């Protein structure tokens, strides 16, 4: 994509096991006003190859990636789901590199605590087993269509049959494009070992949180607790949707962001220039 100097830049980071395809519907809502950049995370799709898939490595990759864009002004940074962990960790470590932070369906509470603890531990076993198996067999195990469909069916909240079919086809097509059993297993451990609440108190730039009222990954009550940890943040809730707002309500998500950007214009740091 050619960067246009007259447009501000929006960088979007997708969730665990996804690719840039998952954020296309939201990205399309911004292309007229923004230079929209949606890379694949390392270890997924066409993403870069990195030695380790811990959070520090993802943050270091993102720093290199942003610098490679040679931007003259600070970009907006958006993260969905696992991408919210990566981008919030980045914002806490490199606050002078971005103008504003947008977290869509943020992972707002520890996955190893509360109601998700049992399912998380089962998933940890699933990924560990896949990593220990021979690579070919491990990839097949971790890419089981049945597992993908269980996840997809449980997360989709819409009653629209056509939309549900689209969501399931997206997951079948892109959910298993990870580079190796090792990369996806390490990525999963990172996704359940961290959450946005770790970094929220350190983030001072304007931040928008968008949550689905029916999100099973981070309960809405946890999102209300999370937003209070930021010094300059707003939470918007979308009714009737869960963790897949990027598929089920992309236009609503985009409109919430646009309204927030307009209202938050006066709260922008006076110096937008990159150091």
User: Using CA atoms, how far apart are residues 132 and 121, in angstroms rounded to an integer?
Assistant: 17
Q: Please say if the pLDDT value at position 23 is more than 80.
A: yes
pLDDT at 62: 98
**Structural domain containing residue 195:** 9-267
Model-level pTM?
0.92
Question: Which CATH number covers residue 253?
Answer: 3.40.50.1820
Tally of domains within the chain: 1
Residue 3 domain-assigned?
no
Determine, yes or no, domain membership for 275: no
The confidence score (pLDDT) of residue 153 equals 95
Question: Which neighbouring-strand residues pair with 101?
Answer: 77, 207
Residue 270 confidence (pLDDT): 39
- Angle, CA 30 vertex, CA 269 and CA 4 arms, to 5°: 75
Burial class (CB in 10 A: 0-12, 13-18, 19+), 251: exposed
Write down the pLDDT at residue 275.
39
Residue with tokens 């090792």: 182
pLDDT digits (tens, 9 = 90+) for 94-129: 999 999 999 999 999 987 676 677 888 889 999 999
Does residue 73 belong to any structural domain of this protein? yes
CB < 8 Å & 24+ apart, contacts of 63-71: 63/90, 63/94, 63/97, 65/39, 66/11, 66/97, 66/98, 69/3, 69/9, 69/11, 69/37, 70/3, 71/3, 71/9, 71/274
**Does 26 have pLDDT greater than 80?**
yes
């Amino acid at each position: 994509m050619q960067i246009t100097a007259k447009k501000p830049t929006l960088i979007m980071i997708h969730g665990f096991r996804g690719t840039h395809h998952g954020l296309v519907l939201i990205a399309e809502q911004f292309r007229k006003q923004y230079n929209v950049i949606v890379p694949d995370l390392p270890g997924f799709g066409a993403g870069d190859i990195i030695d380790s898939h811990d959070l520090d490595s993802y943050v270091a990759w993102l720093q290199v990636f942003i610098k490679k864009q040679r931007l003259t002004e600070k970009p907006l940074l958006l993260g969905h789901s696992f991408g919210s962990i990566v981008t919030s960790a980045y914002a806490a470590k490199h606050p002078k590199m971005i103008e504003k932070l947008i977290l869509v369906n943020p992972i707002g509470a520890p996955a190893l605590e509360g109601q998700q603890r049992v399912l998380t531990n089962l998933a940890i076993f699933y990924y560990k087993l896949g990593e220990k198996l021979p690579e070919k067999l491990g990839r097949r195990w971790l890419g089981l269509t049945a597992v993908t469909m269980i996840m997809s069916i449980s997360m989709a909240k819409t009653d629209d049959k056509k939309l549900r079919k689209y969501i399931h086809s997206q997951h079948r097509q892109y959910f298993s494009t990870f580079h190796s059993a090792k990369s996806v297993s390490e990525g999963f451990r990172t996704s359940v070992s961290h959450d946005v609440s770790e970094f929220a108190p350190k983030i001072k730039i304007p931040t928008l949180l968008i949550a689905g009222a029916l999100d099973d990954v981070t309960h809405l009550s946890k999102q209300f607790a999370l937003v209070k940890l930021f010094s300059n943040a707003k939470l918007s809730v979308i009714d009737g949707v869960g963790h897949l707002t990027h598929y089920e309500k992309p236009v609503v998500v985009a409109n919430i962001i646009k309204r927030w950007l307009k209202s938050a214009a006066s709260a922008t740091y006076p110096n937008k220039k990159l150091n």
